[in-house]
Homo-oligomer: A and B are copies of this chain.
Amino acid sequence: MTETPRERYRAQVRTEIKERAWEQIATAGASALSLNAVAKQMGMSGPALYRYFAGRDELISELIRDAYRSLADAFRAAAEPAPDPAALARALRAWALADPQRYFLVYGTPVPGYHAPSDVTGIASEIMTTLLDACATLPPAGPRTPFDAHIEDHRLWAAGHPAPPAVLRRALTCWTRLHGVLSLELAGHFTGMEFDPALLFEAELDALLG
């Protein structure tokens, strides 16, 4: 497992490329990411980057992978010491506000042709698992809904998690509702409307858990 100096150099350059790429994405969006500009910013010329990434798509795929990984880590950290949906939700918002374009790389507009790298599904299910664990700690809410019946027969996505259907449904609604407020806030659809997005987020969280 001892790394040669070459490998260390290579890894270091790769991470610097990704850092510059993140800067560009944060200021101009993922669609404006330019390998040329990244290379020029690093003092080397264009095609040198192709030693490190097969192309623009592979670089973006790598960034998406890292974004998923980062979110999964933030979730895992927020689930300590005890799983708590509210803590998870606030961690999600903090993670999103720290770098909105990173959030959009995960949950934003998909490019019709593009397929995310296959290993992100593993990370996505890791995220879902921590969310399910947290939702399982909540007191069972309300009567059984028709959707619970449907989900009981279609719980393959829960990856064998032993939670009852009501918990699965709760996790799903946590996901969709928090994404709803967050993505609209990050996309700037609340600017100009006077209210405080943080309060709306907390209100939605209250309605979800209270």
Contacts and interface: CB of A to CB of B under 8 A. Distances in A.
Given A156-B194, A193-B157, A195-B157, A29 B151 contact: no
Given A147-B203, A176-B200, A178-B180, A107 B187 contact: yes
A43 interface: no
Contacts of A121: 192
B157 A192 contact: yes
Q: How extensive is the interface on chain A, given as a class?
A: 35 or more
A61 to B, nearest CB: 16
Contacts of A109: 29-30, 101, 104, 108-109, 187
Interface string A103-129: 010011111110000000100000000
25 contacts: A26-B112, A27-B112, A28-B111, A28-B113, A29-B109, A30-B109, A32-B111, A101-B109, A107-B184, A108-B187, A109-B187, A110-B187, A146-B203, A151-B195, A154-B193, A154-B195, A155-B194, A157-B194, A157-B195, A169-B203, A175-B180, A176-B204, A177-B180, A178-B180, A179-B183
Interface of A: 26-32, 101, 104, 107-113, 121, 145-147, 150-151, 154-157, 169, 172-173, 175-181, 183-184, 187-189, 192-196, 199-200, 202-204, 206-207
